[in-house]
Amino acid sequence: MKNNSKFPSSLELLLDGLIDNLSKIQRCFDNYQNECFENRTSEFFCLELNGEAGELANLEKKSWKGKPIPQEKFEDEAADVLIALINYSNAKNINLAKSVYDKLIKIEKYRSELENIGEKY
């Protein structure tokens, strides 16, 4: 998966840590899920993911309309979204580390092409 082109150092660091760290986290979530929770389908986790993303979006909507929302509520819903995404990915046999790695490279290539013509991503 190593790429020879030159990326910004911040992206190089991200890519270097991504495979080992995210792969390990995803595996650990799978082990915990299998040990302690009922087996669920990818469809279940996809619906859960979208439900949790909706809860997070609802907080942002309220905040946007001027209602004070404690930071802890955003943190709680962001955690729900991440957990649901990892559970979905495990149920769907998606290697998140590889998927994110590949996507970041695509995004960076597109971003740098735009930068070369004076536009922003």
Q: Does 50 bind Mg ion (CB under 5 A)?
A: no
- Kindly state the smallest distance separating residue 55's Cβ from Mg ion, in Å: 4
- Kindly state the smallest distance separating residue 75's Cβ from Mg ion, in Å: 11
CB atoms within 10 A of CB 41: 11
Among residues 52 and 108, whose Cβ is nearest to Mg ion? 52
Q: Does 74 bind Mg ion (CB under 5 A)?
A: no
Helices H, strands E: what count in the chain? 4, 0
x-or-dash pattern for Mg ion, window 52-71, by CB under 5 A? x--x----------------
Q: Does 30 bind Mg ion (CB under 5 A)?
A: no
Asked if residue 6 lies in contact with residue 103, where contact means CB atoms within 8 angstroms, the answer is: no
Asked if residue 36 lies in contact with residue 68, where contact means CB atoms within 8 angstroms, the answer is: no
Q: Does 80 bind Mg ion (CB under 5 A)?
A: yes
Q: How remote is the C-alpha of 104 from its chain's centroid?
A: 11
Asked if residue 2 lies in contact with residue 19, where contact means CB atoms within 8 angstroms, the answer is: no
Binding region for Mg ion (CB under 5 A) out of 13-21, 32-40, 49-57, 84-92 = 49-57
- Kindly state the smallest distance separating residue 85's Cβ from Mg ion, in Å: 13
In whole angstroms, what is the distance from residue 48 CA to residue 65 CA? 26
